[in-house]
Amino acid sequence: MTPLDPLADRPLLVEQVRLEATDVVSLTLADPDGGALPPWEPGAHIDLRLPSGTVRQYSLCGPPDDPCHYTVAVLREERGRGGSVEVHGTALVGRTLRARGPRNHFPLVPAPHYLFLAGGIGVTPVLAMIRRAVADGASWELHYGGRSRASMAFTGVLTDLGAARVHLVPQDESGLLPLTDLVGAAPPGTAVYCCGPEGMVRAVTDACAAVPDALHVERFGAPPGATPAGEAGPAAAAFTVELRRSGLTVRVPPDRTLLDVVREVAPDVGFSCEEGYCGSCETRVLAGVPEHHDTVLSDEERESGDTMMICVGRSASDLLTLDL
Give me the least distance between CB of 140 and ligand FES, in Å please.
Answer: 29
- Which residue number, 75 or 281, has a Cβ lying nearer to ligand FES? 281
Give me the least distance between CB of 313 and ligand FES, in Å please.
Answer: 8
- Which residue number, 252 or 278, has a Cβ lying nearer to ligand FES? 278
- Which residue number, 179 or 310, has a Cβ lying nearer to ligand FES? 310
3-state helix, strand, coil in the chain (%, to 5): 25, 30, 45
Of 81, 52, 58, 82, the residue nearest 71 (C-alpha)? 58
CA distance 200 to 179: 8
* Contact indicator for 192, 204 with CB cutoff of 8 Å: yes
Give me the least distance between CB of 271 and ligand FES, in Å please.
Answer: 4
Buried b (16+ CB within 10 A) or exposed e, 143-172: bbbbeebebbbbbeebeebeeebbebbbbe
Contacts of 221 (CB under 8 A, 6+ apart): 197, 198, 273, 275, 277
Burial class (CB in 10 A: 0-12, 13-18, 19+), 90: middle
- Which residue number, 103 or 165, has a Cβ lying nearer to ligand FES? 103
Of 96, 108, 34, the residue nearest 67 (C-alpha)? 34
- Which residue number, 71 or 272, has a Cβ lying nearer to ligand FES? 272
- Which residue number, 155 or 315, has a Cβ lying nearer to ligand FES? 315
Give me the least distance between CB of 168 and ligand FES, in Å please.
Answer: 31
- Which residue number, 70 or 271, has a Cβ lying nearer to ligand FES? 271
- Which residue number, 52 or 174, has a Cβ lying nearer to ligand FES? 52
- Which residue number, 200 or 273, has a Cβ lying nearer to ligand FES? 273
**With the C-alpha atoms ordered 256, 262, 268, 273, is the resulting torsion angle positive or negative?**
negative
Give me the least distance between CB of 143 and ligand FES, in Å please.
Answer: 28
Q: At what angle do helices 155-162 and 123-136 cross, to 10 degrees?
A: 20
23-to-1, 19, 26, 199 alpha-carbon distances in Å: 37, 8, 10, 21
* Contact indicator for 214, 183 with CB cutoff of 8 Å: no
Is the peptide bond between 102 and the residue preceding it cis, with omega within 30 degrees of 0? yes
Give me the least distance between CB of 162 and ligand FES, in Å please.
Answer: 34
Give me the least distance between CB of 307 and ligand FES, in Å please.
Answer: 11
Give me the least distance between CB of 166 and ligand FES, in Å please.
Answer: 32
Give me the least distance between CB of 281 and ligand FES, in Å please.
Answer: 3
Q: Which residues bind ligand FES (CB under 6 A)?
A: 271-274, 276-281, 294, 296, 309, 311
Burial class (CB in 10 A: 0-12, 13-18, 19+), 296: buried
